[in-house]
Copies of this chain bind each other. A is one copy, B any other.
């Protein structure tokens, strides 16, 4: 058990010990997410290739997940490949059932789990289709069985649908929130929960379009990713349509577009025959569209895009970006030692983080401009410790950088861990002079930054003397010298 996210204010204590039964794309993704968030993970999968596939997935997860955050994740947990369900589940408080989507396989797996697990453990099925009542059928301890349906890649996509008894889903929600996920509690159990109902509708309509020769798989994908996919990564269906209604609002939109529901726009009243021919057509079109990339290459591209887009959403603190920022607030408390009194030592740990894949350039290393980004964030940490926090900024005062000198001593790559130690060289009146040292885990300096800032009035945009509480913090700093 390693140090973890226990600084967060929830009813559950993290990290926990986790068992993953079934180590495919979904089970492996769960294992990666829990492990990188500090939990020990026991895996059981009878497939002899499971260990290799999961280790490959862990490589992907390590190069993408930690860089989403501005601070270090907890120390990674320990992964164990077990030879039986009994070995995997006996000491676990969260058991992920991620076996194939056949009810009889789910039943026998859950029955075996329940013979060996703690009766307070949560058994969370990754099923995309079955209801908890179906999974619980015949169980002597049904309330511990819930649905926790995630989305691929599980280590990056925040959504997880929770279905089951509210006491258990409340506990599950607390645990999964600490993994940086967005638990969506489905209030009434239905087949396929919520998201897959929507996905299934698109899937059927897409099959018709291919079947009828209207559009190919790549044309359908383009219709999505150049169009509503961009909207849906940050707002959903209803919030988007609210804007389409304009100032007149949602009811106006409904009145305008409602009648279309009566039109014969969709073929969904019927389901196309899944003939060998249709399967071949789709597989061939998919080969033509994406076959020049291996699955591994596609996964890298997808993960790098997700990292870049989700980091982009941090700027407006919106959707998936809001989730990342929330986790950052928690991580900051542990990673940059905010309890340490400011200015008591010569230098303060201001940054401890992993380089995101979205910071690389054509030279295959962190682009020079992102060193400036790291130092800018290091200065923000000092400013917040001085009392120049978001409240202070909202009151109309801040610090602006006047000059910055960066010396580049070594390269950084995606997934590299870095720290920045910042010392205050001068803090007097309007002036603040900082010196940053960026280091690799061995303590070698990879870059230095000398940054001079001035205190400003945000209304006049001119320099001025600091107000409280910054003024007092500066006086105290002066006394300590």
A contact set with B: CB distance below 8 Å: 24-25, 101, 129, 151-152, 157-159, 161, 182, 184, 186-188, 190-192, 194-207, 209, 212-215, 217-240, 242-244, 246-247, 249-251, 254-256, 258, 260-266, 268-269, 271-272, 274, 279-280, 282-283, 285-287, 289-290, 295, 298-299, 301-302, 304-306, 308-313, 315-316, 318-320, 323, 358, 360, 362-364, 367-373, 375-376, 390, 393, 398, 400-408, 411, 458, 461
Contacts and interface: CB of A to CB of B under 8 A. Distances in A.
7 contacts: A151-B228, A187-B214, A234-B306, A238-B285, A239-B290, A308-B313, A368-B401
A458 B364 CA distance: 9
Contacts of A308: 312-313, 315-316
Nearest to A450: B405
A191 B301 contact: no
Contact of A221 (B196, B220, B235, B408): B235
Given A232-B229, A298-B243, A304-B316, A282 B266 contact: no
B376 A369 contact: yes
Q: Which of A236, A370, A407, A408 has the most CB of B within 10 A?
A: A236
Given A187-B215, A201-B268, A274-B254, A239 B313 contact: no
B243 A302 contact: yes
A254 B331 CA distance: 41
B309 A312 contact: yes
A206 B247 CA distance: 23
A212 to B, nearest CB: 8
B191 A198 contact: no
A223 B368 CA distance: 38
Contact of A228 (B191, B232, B260): B232
A221 B243 contact: no
A206 to B, nearest CB: 6
A229 B223 contact: no
A195 B186 CA distance: 28
B263 A129 contact: yes
A348 B172 CA distance: 59
Given A206-B198, A283-B249, A264 B191 contact: yes
B242 A224 contact: no
A182 B226 contact: yes
A401 B406 CA distance: 10
A195 B227 CA distance: 8
Contact of A258 (B230, B261, B279): B279
Nearest to A402: B408
A204 B268 contact: yes
A239 B315 contact: no
B406 A404 contact: yes
A194 to B, nearest CB: 5
Q: Which 8 A-B pairs have CB atoms at the shortest separation, nearest pair first? A: A221-B236, A229-B232, A159-B227, A372-B372, A308-B312, A233-B233, A369-B373, A224-B236
B225 A199 contact: no
Contacts of A196: 265
B265 A237 contact: no
Contact of A237 (B221, B232, B260): B221
Given A194-B219, A289-B238, A309 B213 contact: no
Contacts of A289: 238-239
Contacts of A240: 152, 302
Given A220-B236, A283-B249, A310-B230, A271 B262 contact: yes
A236 B223 contact: yes
B225 A235 contact: yes
A99 to B, nearest CB: 13
Contacts of A362: 390, 393, 398
Q: Which of A358, A390, A404 has the most CB of B within 10 A?
A: A404
A286 B241 CA distance: 10
A319 B408 CA distance: 33
A135 to B, nearest CB: 16
B230 A224 contact: no
Contact of A302 (B25, B234, B265): B234
